[in-house]
Structure 1
C-alpha cells in the first residue's frame, strides 16, 4: 500500500490539547526472511483500529513490571516489523521524532499504549514509534548475519522507511530526531555515529541511555551453542519463551553483585559496530547529528534494586567491601571525597549508596562525559536532569519514571506502582515541561 493511500486513511483521529491529531497504526517497514537473519525492506499495513491490535515481537514479562506495571496486552508475533505514526491534521514539513523504546534488550514495543504519540504530536511534531527484535530473536545466531546487530539492522530499515516516506504524513525528512530510551538510547546513539546514516539524522535525544559494552561474537556463539545443544534439532523452531529460558541460563547461575543489574542479552559486536562506540571523545567527534539532548533520572538503578533484599537490606560493611574496591572513576561525585570512596560519610544510607554507584556506572557516567566532550568539540548539547520522585517507596527518581510524563499518557500508566499517588495536576505540570522541552529541541 502506498504512503498516499495510507495518509488518506488514518487509523484514528482525535483531539488532544486542542489539536486535531491523526494516527496510523501498524505500518510495515520490513519483512523477516529467516529466524536470526537480517530482514528486508517491505511495505504494508495491519488492519488495526487501535494501537493494542498491533503485534509486538515475542517477549517475556518485563522485569520492571513491579515498578512500571504490565502495559497493554498486544498480540505477539515474530513478524512484528511495524511502526506507528502520529501527526497533527494538515501537517506539512514538521520535525519528526523517531522513538526507540527500551526494555533491557528483552522487552517492550512501539505499540504499547505507554508510547501513544498523540499528545507529543500535538506539540507540533510528527511522532514515529518502532518495533525491533528483542531477546533471543535479536541476539542469538551469527554475529555476521548483518553488519549490525540484528535489532540495529531492523532500526536502520525503519529509519530508511521514515526517510523515504514521512513527507506523506506531514514530516520533514531532513528534520528527523532519534529519541531513544534505555536500550533504545543505546541504539539511537549507535545510529547517530554510523557513516551509513549520515544525512538521515538532524538531532538525537538519549534518555537514560543504556551504556553496556556489547557482547563479543564469541559470547554470542557460546550462548547460541548452549541453546542449540539444549534444544537439539528443534532449536530453530522452538517457541521464543523456550529460547529465552535457555538463553538466560548463565544469568540465573551468576552470583549477585551489589550495585550491579545484569542483562541476559546484549547487542553483539558485529562487523559494522564502531569499536569506540562508548568512547565519549570519539563519539563527540563522530556523531553527525546537529545537536544532542541528554537526560538521566537522578536515581536510575533504584528500580532494579528496590524490591531485592540483597541490595535493599545491604549493611554498610557489605557496601564498603563492594564499593571500596571500585576505581574512583566508576563512582559518582557524591560518594567521593578527594577522589576516595567515603561510604557512610557521604550521608547516604547503604541502599542509597548502592543505587548511586550503580546509577552512575550503568547509566549516568557516559552521558555526563559525552556532554563534556561534545561541548569541548564545539557541538550543540542540551542536558536535562530528571529529579521528580515516585511515591513508591525506595524508587525515588528511578529509571523509566520519566516516560509517562514524556508521552503524557496518564491513563495508560494507571496500573504502574511507580505512579500510584501521583496527582493528575502534578502529572500535567511535569508532562508539559518534558513534552515542550523535546518539541523545542527538535525545532517545533
Structure 2
C-alpha cells in the first residue's frame, strides 16, 4: 500500500483513502444504490478494499446556468447515474483518538440541476482542519431525482438519496472518528433548501442536531400547480420503456421539460414536492418548523446581492436593456428586489419565527465583492470562504477584481472558524453571545431568545 494511503475498516468492508497534511480524504464512497427512477437502498456491504482515492462520479447534468458567475465548477468530471457517493474529509488524528469529533454533512447547491459533492472547489480540507469531519453528499439531480412521472418515477428521489446519506453517516461515521450524536447538516442554495427540508421530514429526526443554511431560497413558490400536467408531458416523452433510453436521451428530455415549465409559467421544473414521501403536506410545514425550533439550533445567512446571478439573464431580454441610464437603474432595483424576495426577506422571517417559537437562531450576511466587480456580493460568493482553495476559485468571474485573493484567504480562516465553532460548541447560546471579528463586510447578528 502507498505510504500516502490509509486503510479504514468499516462494518461493510475495508476502504482505501488518501492522507495528506494531517488530513484523511475519502472520495466516492457509496452510501446507497439505486436503479434508474427507483428509490435508493442503503449500502451495507461492498467488495473490499474499496478504492476511495480517486475523484468521485457526479450525477449526469448539463452546464450550470451560473457558470457566468462561478465558472465551470465540474471541469469535465465523470458523470454517471450510479452516483450516490460521499466525500469524507477528516483530521487524521480522529482515527486514533478516543474522543469522537463533531460532523458536518454538506449538500451542494445547483438548483437541483447541477453540482456534485466531490468537486475540487468544494474540498473542505481547511474546514476539517478546524477539528471536525466534513461529509459532502452527491445525490441525483434534475430528471433523475426530481421529476415525478406517474408509473415511472416517484417524487423526491433526490431527497430520498439525501436522507439515506444521513442514515449512512449515523451508522458509520464513528468508524472515521466521528460522533453520530454531533451531526450538523448544511448546504448552500438548493442544498440549504434540502437541509431545511430535513428539519421537517419525519424520517430525518434524530439524524442531526444543528443546521446551517447558506442562501436558502425560501421565497420560491411551493405550490404544485401544473406539476401533474408537466409530469404527464414527461411520461409522453419518456415512453413505455424508460430503461431503454440513454442518459443523453434523458438529459435532452430534461431540457424540453424546462422549456415546457417556462411556457406553463412554473418557476422551476425540478423541485421537491410536499405531500409526497418523504415530505409532509404543505399545510403541516408551519407546525413542523415550530417543532424543529424546540430542538434544532439554526444558523442561516445570505449574500447581499443574491439576485445578481439571476436578474441579468432576465434583464438582457427586456425592453429596458436598450436604455443606458434608466435601464441600469431598473436593473439595480430588480436585483435588489429579487435578492430580497427570494432569499433575504424570507430568511429573516424564518429567523424571527424560529425565535418566536423558542428556538435558537442566528443569522449572517455577506456584503463584499472585489473592487471593480460588476456582480457585487452575488449568490455563491460565500463558497470560496469555506471550501476549495484559491486555485480552484481564481477563474470564477465573481472573484475578478482587485484584492480578491487577499480577502478570501484572510477572512476565510475566520469564516471557517465560525462554522466549525457552531458545529463544536456545547452551548449554542454561548455561540450566539461570542464575538467573531470576521471583517467589516461580514455582518453577524446573534439574536437572543
TM-score bin (small chain): 0.7 to 0.9
Give the equivalent residue in structure 1 for 2:103: 96
1: CA distance between counterparts of 2:170 and 2:134?
A: 13
Is it true that 1:371 corresponds to 2:351 in the alignment?
Answer: yes
Give the equivalent residue in structure 2 for 1:298: 304
SS of the counterpart of 1:163?
A: helix
What do residues 214-255 of structure 1 show as CA deviations (whole Å, max 9, x unaligned)? 463x74443333233235445443233432333343543677
Instruction: State how 1:1-20 maps to structure 2 within 5 Å.
Output: 3-4=9-10, 10-15=16-21, 20=22
TM-score, normalised to structure 2's length?
0.81
Task: Note the residue ranges of structure 2 that are not aligned, 5 or more in a row.
Answer: 1-6, 426-449
- Which has the higher mean CA deviation after the structures are superposed, 374-383 or 173-182? 374-383
Give the equivalent residue in structure 2 for 1:64: 66
2: CA distance between counterparts of 1:95 and 1:248?
A: 40
Instruction: State how 1:52-201 maps to structure 2 within 5 Å.
Output: 53-71=55-73, 72-91=75-94, 92-142=99-149, 149-201=156-208
Structure 1 pair 54/124, CA: closer, same or farther in 2 (3 Å)? same
2: CA distance between counterparts of 1:7 and 1:21?
A: 21
Instruction: State how 1:145-294 maps to structure 2 within 5 Å.
Output: 149-211=156-218, 212-214=220-222, 216=224, 219-233=226-240, 235-249=242-256, 251-252=258-259, 262-269=267-274, 270-276=276-282, 283-287=289-293, 289-294=295-300
Give the equivalent residue in structure 1 for 2:419: 438
1:56 Cα shift?
A: 0.4
1: CA distance between counterparts of 2:367 and 2:188?
A: 16
Structure 1 pair 231/100, CA: closer, same or farther in 2 (3 Å)? closer
1: CA distance between counterparts of 2:215 and 2:198?
A: 16
Task: Note the residue ranges of structure 1 that are not aligned, 5 or more in a row.
Answer: 318-343
2: CA distance between counterparts of 1:413 and 1:188?
A: 24
1:417 Cα shift?
A: 1.3
What do residues 169-213 of structure 1 show as CA deviations (whole Å, max 9, x unaligned)? 111110100011111111111111222222221100011012333
Structure 1 pair 280/142, CA: closer, same or farther in 2 (3 Å)? same
1: CA distance between counterparts of 2:223 and 2:62?
A: 21
SS of the counterpart of 2:130?
A: coil
Count of residue pairs the alignment pairs up: 405
Is it true that 1:359 corresponds to 2:339 in the alignment?
Answer: yes
Q: Is the 8 A contact 1:228 1:235 kept in 2?
A: no
Structure 1 pair 215/47, CA: closer, same or farther in 2 (3 Å)? farther
1:286 Cα shift?
A: 3.4
TM-score, normalised to structure 1's length?
0.82
What do residues 389-429 of structure 1 show as CA deviations (whole Å, max 9, x unaligned)? 14574311011110011125211113211122354321112
SS of the counterpart of 1:127?
A: strand
